Structure 1
Amino acid sequence: MKFIVRWTGKPSAQQPAIERFMKTGGNPPDSVTQLGRWHAIGEFSGVAIVEATDTSGLAAWLLQWGDLFSFTVCPALSDEELGAALAAHQTASK
């Protein structure tokens, strides 16, 4: 399953976050595949699209950064996946 992960840095955490990112690369554990990650210019925030078969690896990754960032995570669908869900919904609604 794919997830949208958004983060916002805590104001006092910018320097520790920079140091940790430069040291670790911020990569998720092996059980989570990062499909893409983007950082907002001029803000202490960003977004990543990841894929995981369960949420335990995702939770472990976010807990590693929870002292520096707040996160929101939600399931994500591609256009094709959403189209299939909408078609099924239209069929069921008739």
Structure 2
Amino acid sequence: MKFIVQWKGLPPTQQPAIERFMATGGRPPENVQLLGRWHAIGELSGVAIVETTDASGLAAWVLQWGDLFSFTTAPALTDEELGGALSAHRATSK
């Protein structure tokens, strides 16, 4: 399943976040595939799209950075996946 992961940090966490990211690359655990990641310019925030079959790996990754950032995560669907769900919903609501 794909997830949208968003993070936001406060100015005092900037230097420790830079140091940790430079040391680790911010890579997720092996059971979480990073599909893409984007960082906001001028803010300590960003978004990543990840895919995993084991949400515990996603939880572990967020916890590794939880002392520096606040996170929101949500399941994500492609247009095709959402289209299938909408079609099924339309068929059952008639």
TM-score w.r.t. length of structure 1:
0.98
Runs of 4+ in structure 1 deviating by more than 4 angstroms, as ranges, are none
Kindly report which structure 2 residues correspond to 1:1-94, keeping only aligned pairs within 5 A, or say none: 1-94=1-94
Q: Secondary structure at the match of 1:35?
A: strand
User: Deviation digits for residues 38-89 of structure 1, max 9, x if unmatched?
Assistant: 0001111000000010210000001100000000000000000000000000
- How many residue pairs get aligned? The number is 94
Q: Which runs of 5+ in 2 are unaligned?
A: none
- Structure 1 residue 26: Cα displacement: 0.2
Equivalent AA in structure 2 for residue 58 of structure 1: L
For 1:59 and 1:85, locate their aligned partners in 2 and report how far apart those are by CA, in whole Å: 26
- Structure 1 residue 12: Cα displacement: 1.0
For 2:8 and 2:32, locate their aligned partners in 1 and report how far apart those are by CA, in whole Å: 20
For 1:28 and 1:10, locate their aligned partners in 2 and report how far apart those are by CA, in whole Å: 22
Equivalent AA in structure 1 for residue 16 of structure 2: P
Q: Which runs of 5+ in 1 are unaligned?
A: none
For 1:11 and 1:48, locate their aligned partners in 2 and report how far apart those are by CA, in whole Å: 20
Q: Secondary structure at the match of 2:26?
A: coil
Identity over aligned residues, as a percent? 76
For 2:56 and 2:71, locate their aligned partners in 1 and report how far apart those are by CA, in whole Å: 15
User: Deviation digits for residues 5-42 of structure 1, max 9, x if unmatched?
Assistant: 00001321000000000000000000000000000011
RMSD value, Cα: 0.5
